[in-house]
Amino acid sequence: MASSSKSGNGSLREYVSKEDEPDGKYRVVKRIKTPVQRIAVVETEKGETLIYGDGYVMFGTTKDDELWAESLVHIPMAAAANRGSVLLIGGGGGILAREALRYPDVKRITAVDADRIMMNLGKSLKSLVKFNQGALNNPKVTTIVKDGRAMVEGSRQKWDVIVVDVPEPSEDVPQLRRLFSVNFYRLLKERLQPGGAIAVACTCLNAEMPEFSGSIIKTIKAAGLYVLPYHMDVRKSYGQDWAYCLASNRPLSSSGVKLRIKPRYLTESKLKGMFVIPNRYRKKWKKGKIQTDRNHVLRDIHEEH
């Protein structure tokens, strides 16, 4: 059941889809139509805040957001030779920046998001700022409102750690393929410091769509990077198995990935299991294809399933 405080145009379902509606009662605090997407700010009866983009949850102030951020940030931070500079593509919520700031050797973080409103929420929405501990307002953090691909293309900077956390290409936003293409990963390789590490969010592992992750793995390898896939199995709590890729310009081994700080949820024992991928997924990864700037490999897989 929902109540709504409307700000923006369009029906409620354009902002909060039926498929991704919160359990229990909730209130839509804001509806904002931006040049990039339709954003909804939702408060649940549990006291959590959820940020929706085009009807689906992007991030929020929940435990699973913390698990997601820890999985996406601390693995490349553990694998990288240095952590002085960090690039976060899709960092408007500030949660990734919060985790990166936990490392004392981090000197500068660049957080990029294509939507100014999303970035502003991460900087000023009270519940979100409390959750991300004011990360986007930290003097070590530079925020840039720009498409992640365009930002990297226009920069000559290099980073020790790069994190890519953007939605998968779909029928509604096929242009997101440019943030998953071999062309883009080649750019990231050029912008990566020697011994640096990249983490890419690859949506969920599941029996119906394993070739999605397989295609991302093949595409990163085709860009000339070493790849080590990993996952966070949260099926007991959320019915999902999150997939990620760790990449580098040097060979990777799970034995060489050692946590350098103590995250809230991620432990050394859990870390070992994250690099053990069930064979039922690995076998089907062979069906994956390389995503380019021009084809629609990932979009087609997404739409088919």
Phi and psi torsions of 114, nearest 5°: -75, -15
For residue 163, list its beta bridge partners.
88, 199
Annotated active-site residue 165? The verdict is yes
Give every CB contact of residue 47 below 8 A, 6+ residues apart in sequence.
Answer: none
Which residues have CB under 8 Å from 198's CB, separation 6+?
76, 161, 162, 163, 164, 188, 192, 225, 245, 246, 247, 248
Compute how many other C-beta atoms are within 10 angstroms of the C-beta atom of residue 82.
Answer: 16
Write down the catalytic residue from 165, 172, 293, 300: 165
Q: What DSSP element (H or E) covers 159?
A: strand 159-164
DSSP-based three-state secondary structure for 21:
coil
Q: Which residues are catalytic?
A: 165
